[in-house]
Structure formats: structure tokens, C-alpha cells
Structure 1
């Protein structure tokens, strides 16, 4: 079993799996914004990752660290965005908390300064 049936990510195509341990699983995003864009989820299904107990939350962040290393080796990116959309207002569309690990490459956007601040374009620029 990779994910419980109540997960909106179930069933999961096994060819998309990047990493798995007893508590977490990581797989390529179905709609990637960059090569290697991966989602890391707990096998404990909660709407928000912040509803996880301490053990599962720690395991999830350890999985993020391992996935980042795997993606660095495979894709050789120049940086990463690590992100969580927590709640519908924040853009969460799947009710199973997850963390995006997004490899970034020089030239993938004209000016990457500000990173996630560009959610609010009128407030992004602070330099």
C-alpha cells in the first residue's frame, strides 16, 4: 500500500513515485511547474499538514529533505522553492496536506527575486 484509499491522491501511478518510507510518500506532480516538481505527503491523511501529530510531521519534513537531495542529483537545479498551500484561500485544491518541492533553474523566470512573494504581485517587490 502506498496511500490510503481516502486520499484524493489515491490511486497513484507507481511510475510517478520518487520516494517512499513507512510514513511518507513523494511523487511527481501531475501538473508540474518545472522539471522534477514533486509533492511530498504523509500517509496519515489530514487536510492540513499541521493537523499531523509530531511524529508524522517530523517524518514529512525528513522526506522533504531526502526528496530535495534526490532531485538535486537527478535534475541538477540551481535552487528550490518549498511550499505549502494550507487551506482553500491559500490555493489548496486537494484536501490531503502536502508539500511542494519545486526545482528552480537559472532563466526559468526573468527575475526570480521575491520567490513566493509573487502570489501578491503588487506587494512582491520590496527591493
Structure 2
């Protein structure tokens, strides 16, 4: 555990298993935006173990089921920022599970390609 890490210190766990947990994003893109986080403090997704990735994946599926029931989104984006130049600001791996709703963006073409706005629509 890293005492200076907001994810290591959180007690707001919405779902959890032995190796990971899920919380609602404090700055949601859309209603229901969740973060799925390994319990072990590790900065980069590429440094997680296969067991951690499986635990994260299980929570993504559980979270989706709950979000489907509570928010009834039309679609989802799943994303991970790996490194400062990819936009990572908290250096403890976290997977964004973002519910998407018809009309939340005029033209959603390109989806996650929007991280570089001029490349989103092709």
C-alpha cells in the first residue's frame, strides 16, 4: 500500500474481489462512470499480473451488469491511460468504465480515438 495514493487510501469500494475493486469516478464523464483498480499499488497496466488482469476483467463485467440495471446506458467505453503522455495523472492502474448514452456526443464516431481530437473522425 502506498500512503500517498488516493486509490490505496480509498474506502469507497463499490464492488471488490481478492485482487481488485471498483469505485465511482469522482469526476465522471457520464453518470455511472466507474474505475476498476487492482488492490496492489502498481503504476502501469503492463506491470499487472495475469491474476490481477483477470480480477479486473471480472469486476468490469460485474460493474457493467449493475450499471445496465441502474443507469441503462446505450453503450460503453473502456479505457486505460498508461503513462503521463497518455494522460495518466494517478499512477496506480485504473480502468475507466464509462457508460455512454445516445446523444451524449453529437457524433461519437471514433470513440476512444478522441484522445487525439483531430483523429477521432475518419
Which TM-score applies when normalising by structure 1? Answer: 0.88
Q: CA separation in 1, counterparts of 2:7 and 2:73?
A: 26
Q: CA separation in 2, counterparts of 1:13 and 1:33?
A: 22
Give unpaired runs (5+ residues) of structure 2: none
Deviation at 1:75, TM superposition (A): 0.6
- Structure 2 residue aligned with 1:55: 51
- Structure 1 residue aligned with 2:6: 8
Runs of 4 or more above 2 Å deviation: 4-8
Select 2:60's aligned residue among 37, 51, 64: 64
RMSD: 1.4
- Structure 2 residue aligned with 1:22: 18
- Structure 2 residue aligned with 1:39: 35
Native 8 Å contact 1:24 1:41 kept in 2 = yes
- Structure 2 residue aligned with 1:80: 76
Native 8 Å contact 1:50 1:57 kept in 2 = no
Q: CA separation in 1, counterparts of 2:88 and 2:98?
A: 16
Q: 1:10 to 1:45 in 2, by over 3 A?
A: closer
Which TM-score applies when normalising by structure 2? Answer: 0.91
Give unpaired runs (5+ residues) of structure 1: none
